[in-house]
Amino acid sequence: MGAALRRPLGRHPLGLAFVTPYVVFLAAIFAYPLGFSVYMALHDYFFTAPGAIVERPWVGLDNFSTALSDPDVRAAFGHVGVFIAINVPLTVAIALALAVALDAVLPFRGFLRAAYYIPYVTASVAVVAVWMWLFSRNGLVNSVLGPLAPDPSWLVNEL
């Protein structure tokens, strides 16, 4: 491969061939709903029976002005604003106080650290236990698959 192609493609251009289908899939998964939502926002769109042909005229930004002039929508924005104004500073203050408490020299510092981290560790251990139960040699997945189950099992790396 020439130096002119090597620079934009990188040292391993085959990686781009492997990544391209995934990128195209993600673009389609995100692009279609985004494009369709923009289309619905700018047209007089309403849901009908499947296969029904209905005219959906262009309304531009009228849908937005109608929504923003609705008092319930404005009240909802106000409620969200109040929630953010209370929740963000309170969350930051509690997180900062907890971080200082976990780092400070306190008589119960070890207890505070354990009390903070045990729920996270316990949840991780529970998830690992469930996955190991599902995918072990005699697990639920192999039992359901029967003769189609892989040998060696899912969690075994036999070299």
Give me the pLDDT at residue 5, please.
58
pTM for this model (two decimals): 0.51
Going by pLDDT thresholds of 50, 70 and 90, the confidence category of residue 142 is: confident
Q: Which two tokens stand for residue 111?
A: 């207890």
* pLDDT tens-digit readout, 108-133: 878 888 888 898 889 999 999 999 88
Residue 70 to residues 6, 43, 64: CA-CA distances in angstroms? 57, 19, 10
Give me the pLDDT at residue 42, please.
96
Q: Is the pLDDT of residue 82 over 80?
A: yes
Phi, psi at 58, each rounded to 5°: -70, 130
Other C-beta atoms lying within 10 Å of the C-beta of residue 121: 10
Going by pLDDT thresholds of 50, 70 and 90, the confidence category of residue 47 is: confident
Residue 104 to residues 31, 90, 93: CA-CA distances in angstroms? 48, 21, 16
